[in-house]
């Protein structure tokens, strides 16, 4: 989604802003722009397309300003174009803003402003913001920082929807104002300088010390100081948080693409996620959460709420929790959760899963669960993210920064953490024998090594991709937990190769979807569940009879002459098989996209962090 970068200090800000925008390219966008304060005027450059297009227009040597804001836009209102790109000015070019989110009542505000004599050049919802700031500023009939601050506050009181806003004014060369509601915004502190961004990776190489803006909180930023205000402009203090970070994690380290690098990082990422929690002969360590034993042993049900890939991880978690802990577990699409009728009580645990921790629908579901009195647990990859700050308790995957839009290592780390949590609950509730839990710990502990074995066979998947990349349709089939892997495998293929694919429970195929099977159709079957193996083979034989070519992903010894290709993965407990069976599907999707010469890391129309509902 849209990205924001801002700088105020003693350095020329143009190179910093452009570099920050490049660091945010993984979020997904269709245009980019910057606004710099220069000699009591606001200089704006913006362009449709990649940040490189903007960079080619900007001569950093001509812009000497040390205060500026920048933006990458993901179009919601108004098609991608130069005029619809951010930053946006008011009619008199006094104020400039960049904005993430959606202003739901912008049409009403636009009509009001047009009646007041303001004109608009874009089709965006954002353009009402600088004009409202100008309107409220002029009402105060004084030129002062407090008038600017009051104008921004009054503007926000009129806005309905979600927003993170960064504003500058031509008469305020040493000031930036930041405010947020439902969209993330962080402020990094340097030496006589501040860096502002929608996401920490944009500015992590400059600072490790951050302020995280809370809901309806405003910041008045100068190069040597910062002040925080609530929605009523009451000033308050705020803690500075230091975030550890490995800068090399945000580089490709010699890999052709971030996605490939992140696929190969999965063994080490899972080791980090599980290592400090598993001690053989001792209980799983979740001492970082403070739910009492009584609270967890008296749970009546669990909800796992997430979107996209995180939701698929939740489905795997549901299977494991139900089988090991005997707790009814529901997986809900975050965007639908609030609009259904979830049965929530103090005996309900709601687990919210989000790689970024900033997914708008997931955050909205979290707030509903808290209102209803349910216990809330966040699973995220980002320390200090919104869901981790708002949930009752939080636990982290330690996947490291994930730059590619299509999630790989974050997904497997989410599953690993959900597996650990299931083992932890089972130990507390004494639903399984101690010996079985110990065996499962060992199986989980050995998984990274088995993942490395799969990655060593990448050339086999590259060869398959070379044979199938020109297909227009593919199908993924599985039963039980394999079906959830099929869903994720199909999503990966769609996301980065734009090849149409569908996933079905293998036993459901004959109830309609088999009508789509014709001569030469590529079907990928996942077969890792011993109890369902013979049934899944029978389902695959049904499509083979109708001309399909089947690629099998399995731990079992299968008849080679039945399938077009069999990819063997190492043997593990069926609970944990998704951590292995997904990896060949990730690699296959990657190689298909490469065969089609597509941008693997930044697929069209997609964003890494979806911060609008």
Instruction: Give the active site residues.
Output: 2, 608
Both structure tokens of 532:
């369902």
Angle at 192 between CA 190 and CA 197, to 5 degrees: 45
CB 549 within 8 A of CB 522: yes
- The tokens for 611 are 């911060």
For residues 124 and 77, is the Cβ–Cβ distance under 8 A?
yes
Residues forming beta bridges with residue 242, ordered by sequence position: 209
Q: Rounded to 5, what percent of the chain is helix, strand, coil?
A: 40, 20, 40
What letter does residue 87 receive in the DSSP assignment?
A: P
Selection from 38, 47, 34 nearest residue 83 by Cα:
47
Q: Which residues contact 568 (CB under 8 A, 6 or more apart)?
A: 554, 555
Our CA angle for 349, 354, 357, nearest 5°, is 105
User: Across 182-286, where does the E strand assignment appear?
Assistant: 186-189, 194-197, 209-212, 217-221, 226-229, 235-236, 241-242
Q: Strand 375-380 to strand 393-396: parallel, antiparallel, or no bridges (unpaired)?
A: parallel
Helix (H, G, I), strand (E, B) or coil at 40: coil
Number of H helices, E strands in the chain: 18, 25
| List of E strands, 301-347 | 301-306, 329-333
Structure tokens at 272: 């980090």
Q: Which of 363, 361, 392 is nearest to 375 (CA)?
A: 392
Cβ-in-10-Å burial (0-12, 13-18, 19+) of 530 comes to: exposed
Q: Which positions ≥6 away from 456 have C-beta within 8 Å?
A: none
Beta-carbon contacts of residue 316 (< 8 Å; ≥ 6 apart): 415, 418, 481, 484, 485, 578
Strand extents, DSSP E, 9-146: 31-38, 41-48, 67-73, 88-89, 95-103
Residue 236: CB partners within 8 Å, gap ≥ 6?
A: 228, 229, 230
Residue 55 has which token pair?
A: 């960079």
User: Does residue 454 contact residue 577 with C-beta atoms inside 8 Å?
Assistant: no
Rounded Cα gap, residues 334 and 266, in angstroms: 26
Residue 484, judged by CB atoms within 10 A of its CB (0-12, 13-18, 19+), counts as: buried
Instruction: Classify each residue of 3-37 as buried b or exposed e, where b means 16 or more C-beta atoms within 10 Å of its C-beta.
Output: bbbbbbbeebbbebbbbbbbbbbbbbbbbbbbbbb
CB 380 within 8 A of CB 355: yes
């Amino acid at each position: 989604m849209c990205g924001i970068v801002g700088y105020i200090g003693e350095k020329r800000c143009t190179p910093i802003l452009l570099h920050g925008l490049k660091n945010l390219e993984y979020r997904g966008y269709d245009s980019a722009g910057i606004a710099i304060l220069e000699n009591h005027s606001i200089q704006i450059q913006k362009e449709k397309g990649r940040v490189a297009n903007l960079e080619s227009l900007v001569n950093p040597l001509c812009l000497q300003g040390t205060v500026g804001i920048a933006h990458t836009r993901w179009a919601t209102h108004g098609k991608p174009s130069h005029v619809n790109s951010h930053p946006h000015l008011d009619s008199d070019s006094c104020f400039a803003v960049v904005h993430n989110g959606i202003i739901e009542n912008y049409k009403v505000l636009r009509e009001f402003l047009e009646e007041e004599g303001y004109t608009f050049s874009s089709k965006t919802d954002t353009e009402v913001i600088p004009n409202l700031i100008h309107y409220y500023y002029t009402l105060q009939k004084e030129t002062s920082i407090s008038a600017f601050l009051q104008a921004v506050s009054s503007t926000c009181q009129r806005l309905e929807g979600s927003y993170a806003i960064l504003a500058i004014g031509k008469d305020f060369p040493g000031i930036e104002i930041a405010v947020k509601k439902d969209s993330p915004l962080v402020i990094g502190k340097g030496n006589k300088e501040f860096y502002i961004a929608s996401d920490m990776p944009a500015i992590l190489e400059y600072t490790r010390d951050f302020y995280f803006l809370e809901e309806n909180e405003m910041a008045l930023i100068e190069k040597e100081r910062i002040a925080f205000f609530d929605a009523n402009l009451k000033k308050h203090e705020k803690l500075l948080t230091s975030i550890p970070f490995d800068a090399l994690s945000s580089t490709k380290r010699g890999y052709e693409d971030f996605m490939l690098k992140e696929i190969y990082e999965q063994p080490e990422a899972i080791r980090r996620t599980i290592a400090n929690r598993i001690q053989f002969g001792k209980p799983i360590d979740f001492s970082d959460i403070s739910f009492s034993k009584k609270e967890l042993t008296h749970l009546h049900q669990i909800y796992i709420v997430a979107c996209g890939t995180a939701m698929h991880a939740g489905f795997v978690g549901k299977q494991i929790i139900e089988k090991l802990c005997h707790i009814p577990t529901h997986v809900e699409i975050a965007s639908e959760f609030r609009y259904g009728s979830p049965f929530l009580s103090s005996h309900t645990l709601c687990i919210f899963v989000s790689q970024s921790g900033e997914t708008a629908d997931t955050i909205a579901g979290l707030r509903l669960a808290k209102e209803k009195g349910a216990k809330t647990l966040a699973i995220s990859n980002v320390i200090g993210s919104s869901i981790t700050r708002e949930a009752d308790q939080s636990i982290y995957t330690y996947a490291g920064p994930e730059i590619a839009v299509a999630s790989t290592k974050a997904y497997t780390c989410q599953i690993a953490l959900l597996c650990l949590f299931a083992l932890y609950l089972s130990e507390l509730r004494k639903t399984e024998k101690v010996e079985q839990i110990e065996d499962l710990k060992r199986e989980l502990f050995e998984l990274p090594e088995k993942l490395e074995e799969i990655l060593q066979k990448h050339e086999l998947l590259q060869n398959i991709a070379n044979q199938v990349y020109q297909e227009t349709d593919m199908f993924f089939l599985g039963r039980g937990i394999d079906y959830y892997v099929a869903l994720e495998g199909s999503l990966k293929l769609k996301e980065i190769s734009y090849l149409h694919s569908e996933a079905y429970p293998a036993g459901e195929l004959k109830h309609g979807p088999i009508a789509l099977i014709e001569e030469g159709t590529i079907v990928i079957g996942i077969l890792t569940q011993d109890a369902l193996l013979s049934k899944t083979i029978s389902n695959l034989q049904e499509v083979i009879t109708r001309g399909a070519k089947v690629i099998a992903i399995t731990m079992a010894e299968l008849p080679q002459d039945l399938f077009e290709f069999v990819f063997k993965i190492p043997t593990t407990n069926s609970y944990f098989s998704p951590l292995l069976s997904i990896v060949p599907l990730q690699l296959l999707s990657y190689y298909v996209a490469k065969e089609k010469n597509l941008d693997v890391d930044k697929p069209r129309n997609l964003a890494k962090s979806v911060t609008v509902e």
